[in-house]
Amino acid sequence: MNNMQSLCVFCGSSRGENPEFANAAAAFGTALARRGIAMVYGGSDAGLMGIAARFALSAGGTVTGIITRDLYERTDHLEVSDLVIVDSMHQRKAEMHRRSDGFIALPGGIGTMEELMESLTWRQLGIHGKPVGVLNTSGFFNPFLALLDHLTECGFLSLSNRFLLCTAEKPAELLEEIFPSS
């Protein structure tokens, strides 16, 4: 039975160089809406964030954007189901975690990686038991996955914690892996 109500999506505020990244963001937003899972994200209309949110909305989904006051004032944003404006990045991330039943990263930059690592660290420490995953579009996360393997080989990451991270190449596969429908 599907108890997942909302999924936080971390991804780039740019589109990246590979057009497959934008295609995957669009497909992921659509897949969330079709499964009845609300999307929580960083609140911007820019890059992959905006693409995923727009496609979730156009497929009839619910989208909550959480954005700092500073970013709200200097970036474009969508008319989403719910827009929450907070004062700091720490508040933004805390609110994203509070409102989400799981966390997924699509391709992105330093901010995306930081959000992914914090969610994965919190899972490892038992701060939450929510699923964490990456959509490995065109092998984008392969170097990161190799780093996790290296950390495991060097004794800094246990094998059980290494496999806390779900990974798939297609949106439907990742959603099925983090939350099986049957």
The CATH number that applies at residue 74 is 3.40.50.450
Phi first, then psi, for residue 140 (nearest 5°) are -50, -40
Would you say residue 129 lies in a domain?
Answer: yes
Would you say residue 28 lies in a domain?
Answer: yes
Burial of 38 (0-12, 13-18, 19+ CB in 10 A): buried
Would you say residue 74 lies in a domain?
Answer: yes
Give the per-residue pLDDT at 51: 97
Would you say residue 180 lies in a domain?
Answer: no
Phi first, then psi, for residue 3 (nearest 5°) are -95, -5
Return the amino acid letter for 102. G
Averaged pLDDT in 10-residue chunks for the chain of 182 residues: 80 95 98 96 94 97 95 84 94 95 97 96 96 98 98 97 96 90 62
Give the per-residue pLDDT at 47: 95
Give the per-residue pLDDT at 1: 36
Would you say residue 181 lies in a domain?
Answer: no
Would you say residue 182 lies in a domain?
Answer: no
Give the per-residue pLDDT at 3: 66
132: three-class secondary structure by DSSP: strand
Global pTM reads 0.93
DSSP string of 85-127, one letter each residue: EESSHHHHHHHHHHT-S-EEE-S--HHHHHHHHHHHHHHHHTS
Give the per-residue pLDDT at 181: 73
Q: Which residue segment(s) compose the domain that 15 sits in?
A: 6-175
Give the per-residue pLDDT at 104: 98
Q: Say how many domains are in the chain.
A: 1
Would you say residue 87 lies in a domain?
Answer: yes
Would you say residue 86 lies in a domain?
Answer: yes
